[in-house]
A = this chain, B = another copy of it.
């Protein structure tokens, strides 16, 4: 018997039929002897439709009103799910963010949870109800609704799980867990039975969309076990939890890729003190989310500075770079939007030397051009041409022994051995 929080995304509750199936699933958990609290997103594309309505009356809707509007989406799905459970003979009650005691800092559109008072949920559980909580929303100290930002329902689920001290926070979606790489790109990718918070965070940050990054951060902070699994099967998914000290751990846990970035380069920048600081200061002011920064070696008092940022920031980035080029008297600037960032992630990387060398050798062996590099203690990211991103993911997946049927010996080659094999082959 466990205390379970089960979060269902918009696809899982997109129609009355699917809502009934979610009800069946929750009832099955309860009848198996568990206590269960559901957290739901808005039905299907409801949020997009509400945004479209808002834009039809105001191109730049005030965030207080927009939050209140979007919050209705989850209130529709939560009540329908409660009704569906009641129709099947079990007691259920729905709870808005306010009713679930989720207090936020009042930052509309991207509120942070300040506290959670789970009394009503716990009382409902004690009374035999299946509580259903609206994801994505909370209330500020003025009594106004605030939303947690896109993907915020995962955060709600983790917060509720923490608030009621649940054994596990199950996050149901249309993928059945976390893979060593995107199976659509790399058919030999394997589902991980578990992954550490740190690795999951790096994978999410590097473009793996299975779980919301803030939710994982929240879970790590409060030590909430997440179980990422499929809404359409009973198969076990992937547990995200504190890493156990193991005898040996894999150097690389998984490979992420991200095709949502663009790369800008300002060329012929006078190599003076403070120029870089000025550039990135201006970009920050304009709200451009700079991801990687690459500064090439200075040549005759001039240097090239590149950076990547989300393609959603393209217009702001272009404008700012134009202004910078003129202000710092640089030669010119370029933008390329056909790039991809491929990242190797693994806590084991910290104690395994040679990961970068091996990754570069693998790229070279596969004729993949490296455009930029950035690293963290447990991540190595390589920017490549978008057309080569799938090849890069698959080559690295194989080289680091992640393939489901990988030849152990082959994948244990060092960078030198790879380069040697490569030279021999030519």
Let me know if A98 is at the binding interface, CB within 8 A: yes
Q: How far is the CA of A54 from the CA of B59 in the complex (A)?
A: 32
**Do A94 and B65 have beta carbons less than 8 Å apart?**
yes
**Hey, what's the 0/1 contact readout for A44-76 against B, CB within 8 Å counting as 1?**
000000100110111111101110110110011
Q: Name the residue of chain B whose CB is nearest to the CB of A74.
A: B72
Q: Name the residue of chain B whose CB is nearest to the CB of A88.
A: B58
**Hey, what's the 0/1 contact readout for A17-57 against B, CB within 8 Å counting as 1?**
00110010000000000000000000000000010011011
Q: How far is the CA of A325 from the CA of B54 in the complex (A)?
A: 58
CB-contact partner of A16 in B56, B87, B94, under 8 A: B56
Residues of B within 8 A of A56 (CB): 16
Q: Please provide the 6 A-B residue pairs with the shortest distance between their CB atoms, ordered closest to farther.
A: A16-B56, A58-B87, A58-B83, A72-B72, A69-B79, A57-B84
Residues of B within 8 A of A78 (CB): 68
Identical copies in the complex: 2
Interface of A is mostly: helix
Q: How far is the CA of A71 from the CA of B76 in the complex (A)?
A: 9
Let me know if A144 is at the binding interface, CB within 8 A: yes
**Hey, what's the 0/1 contact readout for A64-106 against B, CB within 8 Å counting as 1?**
1110110110011011111110110000111010110000000
**Do A68 and B79 have beta carbons less than 8 Å apart?**
yes
CB-contact partner of A59 in B19, B71, B87, B94, under 8 A: B87
Let me know if A274 is at the binding interface, CB within 8 A: no
**Hey, what's the 0/1 contact readout for A123-160 against B, CB within 8 Å counting as 1?**
00000000000000000000110000000000000000
Residues of B within 8 A of A82 (CB): 62, 65
Q: Name the residue of chain B whose CB is nearest to the CB of A73.
A: B72
Supposing A68-B79, A99-B144 touch, asked if A57 and B87 sit within 8 A by C-beta, the answer is yes
Q: How far is the CA of A66 from the CA of B76 in the complex (A)?
A: 10
Residues of B within 8 A of A143 (CB): 98-99
Residues of B within 8 A of A94 (CB): 65, 68
Residues of B within 8 A of A76 (CB): 50, 53, 69, 72
